[in-house]
Amino acid sequence: QQQVKQSPQSLIVQKGGISIINCAYENTAFDYFPWYQQFPGKGPALLIAIRPDVSEKKEGRFTISFNKSAKQFSLHIMDSQPGDSATYFCAASGAGSSYKLIFGSGTRLLVRP
């Protein structure tokens, strides 16, 4: 019940295309859903996050779509750039556990020039 399932495992997108990464969770007590971006040799960095009171959040080229009834959320990267090539992790926390994050398995994104 604590799992966060992420897909796809890897993704190749042409420059200018849309990258879409999906996550699903089981624990309905989760109330915080962040996405992290990780470059090789670096720690994860927060990209964008959403709480269940909204269905969508947009920051620049990055959008989170959240479907509470389906217990799913997704990251959309518009106009993908080669600099976006990184590993992306979805995560979830809540249920009284503060920022003890449960991470998805990660998606390795490659944006071709």
Partner 1 sequence: SAVISQKPSRDICQRGTSLTIQCQVDSQVTMMFWYRQQPGQSLTLIATANQGSEATYESGFVIDKFPISRPNLTFSTLTVSNMSPEDSSIYLCSVEALGQGNTEAFFGQGTRLTVV
The residue ranges that bind partner 1 (CB under 8 A) are 34, 36, 41-46, 49, 89, 98-106
DSSP letter for each residue of 8-57: -SEEEEETTS-EEEEEEE--TTEEEEEEEEE-TTS--EEEEEE-TT-SEE
Distance in Å, CB of 64 to partner 1, minimum: 14
* Closer of 42 and 83 to partner 1 (Cβ): 42
* Closer of 77 and 104 to partner 1 (Cβ): 104
* Closer of 96 and 113 to partner 1 (Cβ): 96
Distance in Å, CB of 100 to partner 1, minimum: 6
112 token code pair? 């071709």
Q: Measured in Å, how far apart are the chain's first and last C-alpha atoms?
A: 40
